Structure 1
Amino acid sequence: MIALRELTTIKDLEQLEKIERNVWDMPPLPIHQTLTAVKNGGVIIGAFDEDTFIGFSYGFTGFKDGQTYLVSHMLGVEKEYRSRKIGEKLKRKQREIAINKGYSLIRWTYDPLETRNAYLNLTKLNGICSVYKENAYGEMKDSINKGLPSDRFEVHWHIASEYVLEKEVSDYSNAAALNKVSIADNLPVSTMFHNEQFNAEVYSLEVPMNFQHVKFKNYALALEWRINTRSVFQKLFAAGYAAVYLIPGKYTAKYIFVRKNTLQLGGHS
């Protein structure tokens, strides 16, 4: 039985170090920083299997354009516990605690070519993305991110909105396709054919289902995916569209984009 609880003490926070090293192969966050965050509106949640610490989420307070929100900065789960919806449970617990603390919006970033994260953030949690951050963190040297520009989608999770609470699954079969994908040596290769004029109600764009595998097998192809999708994502967002859904497949996954002004977001940006 997996249990979740908020972490608030030095002893609690010392437990993060092991997972930070195991998941990202990186030096741990200083305790004085995480402790200060939780004492000033931040939220750190631990996941436990009995007495074994197996994962956490970490968020701190953000402020922009007159609005306070929670910045969900890190979420990590030990390898042997992945694919058991623990990440989703951590996010839903984070939403519950954030609402109790008075937040109405949570923001975080993720690599748009990491489809496991995209599926959780958009399809499961009903977050949306309409902000693209090119090489957001500069050169990253951890095991997951090293070797490519650290481009990111910024997720806006309107945790008290109608969109999150009452989103209905739509039929996206008629979405206008923005690229075509062929499979060569079990790797997806994309031909872009998007139109400069975006006027459809719904668009789709295919990305690799397993980007880390593509990067391992063919670095040049992975870089091509990064640069080509960057251009399309930026143009879509500039035209007023938002990413709202991801449909997984065998070799690729399909992003769905709709006009942001059609979403019931409760008036928040």
Structure 2
Amino acid sequence: MSFQHTITYKKIEDLKDIEQVVKLQAEVWGTDVVSPLPQLVASIHHGGVVIGAFSDNQLVGFCYGFAGFKDKEVYLISHMAGILQDYQNAGIGYQLKIQQRAWAIDYGYKKMVWTFDPLEIRNGYFNVCKLGAFSKHYIPSYYGLMNDKLNKGIPSDRLLIEWDLCSKRVEAAINGTFKTGPKVNYESLLSIDPSNNYPTPLSQELQLNENHNGYLVPVPSNIQFIKKQNLDVGHKWRYAVRHALSEAFSKGYMITGVHRELDSKIHFYVLEKVGG
């Protein structure tokens, strides 16, 4: 069911609305990872932004970003985005990102960055294919061990996503003209044992030829299901994907696409040479 016609979006500045953001965070992730009200207020007044999605007067989703600076470059760090369960899969997350991008461009930012769990391939598709972002940095155990609903059980590895807000790639993605094909001619960097109810990566030495234009890295389509069924297999996926992506990035590749097959237990990151 789509709620899109009932949703409105606005920049959040009122303290009562910020209090709703704090409560929504706790509902989505639990109380361990909440960004508190004083921090949100300070960020809003110094280059940050909180954008809310409302159904009538109820906050049902938000995104929060704050100012970042590194290597003489200024950018917006899109730190959090959350949507109530009953309102998920209705396009709200996409619209929040579009609203955040519009605000960032108007404020003067040219780039936005954020992180996500590389095993959450659905988020990977959203970030890379629907938004036109890319990734070339892998960060092992970024937050250490976490105990929230989604991250508990395995190290909190993250991919750093980079979103060049006014690039042709991003504009094509937003306009619906950016396509990433299946890249069936690329080799997979990992082998998989499909004999169980859930796929399992096999131990192997990576055979990475720097002269190849691209590679595929397989990732389970539902890592949360695997973690619930067999946490040891979840760990195997964490370390296998960590090794494969880190090695590929070190050789000059970056994630440029995500290949998905309907009803498949495995999807693929598409990695290609930077500038290739």
Q: Residue type matched to 2:274 in 1?
A: K
Q: Is the 8 A contact 2:180 2:257 kept in 1?
A: no
Tell me whether 113-122 or 158-167 shows the greater mean CA deviation: 158-167
Give the CA deviation at 1:100. 0.5
- In structure 2, the CA distance between the partners of 1:175 and 1:207, relative to structure 1 (3 Å rule), is same
Give the CA deviation at 1:178. 1.5
Instruction: Work out the CA distance in 1 between the residues paired with 2:35 and 2:180.
Output: 41
Q: Is the 8 A contact 2:189 2:208 kept in 1?
A: no
Name the residue aligned to 1:265: none
Q: Is the 8 A contact 2:132 2:172 kept in 1?
A: no
Give the CA deviation at 1:194. 3.5
Instruction: Work out the CA distance in 2 between the residues paired with 1:182 and 1:83.
Output: 31
Deviations 1:86-135 (A, max 9, x none): 11111111111100001011000000001121111111111101001010
Which residues of structure 2 form unaligned runs of 5+?
A: 1-5
Name the Cα RMSD after superposition: 1.4
Tell me whether 220-229 or 20-29 shows the greater mean CA deviation: 20-29
- Of all paired residues, the percent bearing the same amino acid is 34
Equivalent residues in 2 for 1:36-75 (5 A)? 36-75=42-81
2:15 corresponds to which of 10, 15, 32: 10
Instruction: Work out the CA distance in 1 between the residues paired with 2:41 and 2:180.
Output: 42
Q: Residue type matched to 2:168 in 1?
A: E
Instruction: Work out the CA distance in 2 between the residues paired with 1:86 and 1:193.
Output: 41
Deviations 1:182-235 (A, max 9, x none): 323320122356314332112111110000111110111110110111111101
Name the residue aligned to 1:266: none
1:133 maps to 2:139: yes
Instruction: Work out the CA distance in 2 between the residues paired with 1:138 and 1:169.
Output: 35
Instruction: Work out the CA distance in 1 between the residues paired with 2:100 and 2:117.
Output: 21
Q: Is the 8 A contact 1:178 1:193 kept in 2?
A: no
Q: Is the 8 A contact 2:180 2:259 kept in 1?
A: no
Name the residue aligned to 2:36: 30
Which residues of structure 1 form unaligned runs of 5+?
A: 263-269
Tell me whether 5-14 or 126-135 shows the greater mean CA deviation: 5-14
1:220 corresponds to which of 232, 246, 251: 232
Q: Is the 8 A contact 1:9 1:35 kept in 2?
A: no
Q: Is the 8 A contact 2:190 2:244 kept in 1?
A: no
1:253 maps to 2:267: yes
Name the residue aligned to 1:89: 95
Tell me whether 216-225 or 240-249 shows the greater mean CA deviation: 240-249
Instruction: Work out the CA distance in 1 between the residues paired with 2:12 and 2:224.
Output: 31
Name the residue aligned to 2:201: 190
1:243 corresponds to which of 255, 259, 264: 255
- In structure 2, the CA distance between the partners of 1:246 and 1:170, relative to structure 1 (3 Å rule), is closer
Q: Is the 8 A contact 2:129 2:180 kept in 1?
A: no
Tell me whether 97-106 or 47-56 shows the greater mean CA deviation: 47-56
Q: Is the 8 A contact 2:66 2:77 kept in 1?
A: yes
**Paired residues, number:** 262
Q: Is the 8 A contact 2:22 2:37 kept in 1?
A: no
- In structure 2, the CA distance between the partners of 1:74 and 1:170, relative to structure 1 (3 Å rule), is closer
Q: Is the 8 A contact 1:128 1:242 kept in 2?
A: yes
